[in-house]
Amino acid sequence: MKISVIIPMYNSESTIERAIYSVINQTYSSAYEVIVVNDGSTDGSKDKVSTLMSENPRIEIKLINQVNGGVSKARNAGLQNATGTFIAFLDADDEWLPFKIAKQISVFEQHPEVDFLAAIIDDVPDNHESDIRQITLSMLIYKNYFQPSTVMMRRTIFESVGFFNEEQKYAEEGNYFMRIAKLFNCFLLYQRLTVYGDGKIGFGVSGLSANLYEMERGELMNLKFAYRQKYIGTLKYGVAVAFSIIKYFRRILIVKTR
């Protein structure tokens, strides 16, 4: 069984080695293909990956170079080249804990109904009731529970749902996960398996998530998409929009008082 790991990379010279080695050092013994998509980097990211490839000839590392087009285009290039039974995503500034894949494969084996599995990025909350929890489309309308670097999914999902929306530059993963949750069984694992951006919080720090206004626009686009696709009705759409705007102002307050 092969696992395809897709890593979009843009100017990640200081973190890409750590990300790739976190895949190489997984305790789960399986065939891996690491697909690094260089999204027009202007620093030494490409050279770092090339060096890793020559130093680790036993590991299948593919380097795809493309003109800068955004993270969705980069992930799509990875999906186009993925041949694994399972597909996992890893951002270039994140890293996996050594047992990440082993734990997720164990869940897939014990729960054949699971199609898509993400994990929490913080410590396990005291009030969690079980190891895994199903996350439905209705729940995703109000909150995106899935951080991409924690996600592992069966290849059949990609074959059915297709690609990320390359026209959307912010909150693009939310759109993709909604489309998946409409058709497949998505679950959240209550175990921390990923080091997320050196422990930073999820917004207002760096990268795309730093632009709170554009993030909010992306979330509202996702809600409009769900409404137009008739995933949700008019009342739920209105409530979800109001809730999203409240969260937006809360984020601004948090950033300003941090």
Q: Given this model, what pLDDT does residue 125 score?
A: 73
> Strand, coil or helix: what is 208?
helix
Tens of pLDDT, residues 25-59: 999 988 999 999 999 999 999 999 999 999 998 88
CA atoms within 13 A on the CB side of 243: 13
pLDDT, one tens digit per residue, over 113-163 is 999 999 999 887 766 667 999 999 999 999 999 999 999 999 999 999 999
Which sign, positive or negative, has the C-alpha torsion 63, 66, 72, 76? negative
pLDDT, position 96: 98
CB 216, CB 245: distance < 8 Å: yes
- Mean pLDDT calculated for residue range 4-15: 97
Query: Which CATH architecture group holds 2-199?
Result: Alpha-Beta Complex (3.90)
Enter the pTM of the model: 0.93
Angle between helices 45-55 and 16-24 (to 10 degrees): 30
